[in-house]
Amino acid sequence: MTCLATSRRRLAFTVYAGVIALVFAWWSTIRPSNDRDWQADVARNVTATIYDNRIVVYNVRNFNWRTDRDFDQRWEQRTYDLSQLHDVDLILSYWSGEAIAHLIVSFGFDDGRRLDFSIETRKERGEEYSAIAGFFKQYELVIIAADERDIVRVRSYVRGEDVRIYRLRMPPEYARQLLQEYVDDVNVLSREARWYNTAAGNCTTLAFGMVRTLRPGLPLDYRIFLSGAADVG
> Is 84 exposed, middle or buried (CB count within 10 Å of its CB: 0-12, 13-18, 19+)?
middle
Half-sphere exposure in the Cβ direction for 116 (13 Å, CA): 22
Calculate the CA 184 to chain-centre distance: 14
Provide the percentage of residues in the chain whose pLDDT is more than 90: 56
Provide the 10 A C-beta neighbour count for residue 151: 28
| Closest CA relative to residue 92, chosen from 162, 170, 148, 143 | 162
Q: Is the pTM of this model over 0.75?
A: yes
Q: What is the mean pLDDT of residues 32-61?
A: 95
Half-sphere exposure in the Cβ direction for 157 (13 Å, CA): 12
Q: Is the pLDDT of residue 58 over 70?
A: yes
Any idea where the domains of the chain sit in the sequence? 1-30, 40-229
Q: How confident is the model at residue 123 (pLDDT cuts 50, 70, 90)?
A: very high
Give tens-digit pLDDT for 127-154.
988 878 777 788 999 999 999 999 999 9
